[in-house]
Amino acid sequence: MDDDIVYSVPPSKSDEELEKGFVAAIIDQPKLLDELAKQLVTLNLAIPGLYATALKLIGGDDAVVNSAIMIIGAFVCWFIALALSLFSLRPRKWKVDRSKLRSNIPVAPGQPLSIEEFFMATATYKRRLLALATLFSFTGICLAGLTIFCTTHKP
Residue 152 has pLDDT above 60, yes or no: no
Tell me how far apart the alpha carbons of residues 67 and 147 are, in angstroms, rounded to a whole number: 6
Rounded to an integer, the average pLDDT of 71-93 is 93
**Dmax over Cα atoms in the chain, in whole Å?**
100
Give the model's confidence band at 121: pLDDT under 50 very low, under 70 low, under 90 confident, else very high. confident
Query: What mean pLDDT, rounded, does the chain reach?
Result: 83
Give the model's confidence band at 83: pLDDT under 50 very low, under 70 low, under 90 confident, else very high. very high
Tell me how far apart the alpha carbons of residues 14 and 38 are, in angstroms, rounded to a whole number: 35
First to last CA, the chain: 98
- What is the tens place of the pLDDT at every residue in 95-113? 888 887 777 777 777 788 8
State residue 68's pLDDT score: 79
- What is the tens place of the pLDDT at every residue in 64-80? 666 778 889 999 999 99
3-class DSSP state for residue 115? helix
Residue 87 has pLDDT above 90, yes or no: yes
State residue 52's pLDDT score: 78
State residue 105's pLDDT score: 73
Indicate whether this model's pTM tops 0.85.
no
Rounded to an integer, the average pLDDT of 36-53 is 89
Rounded to an integer, the average pLDDT of 71-94 is 92
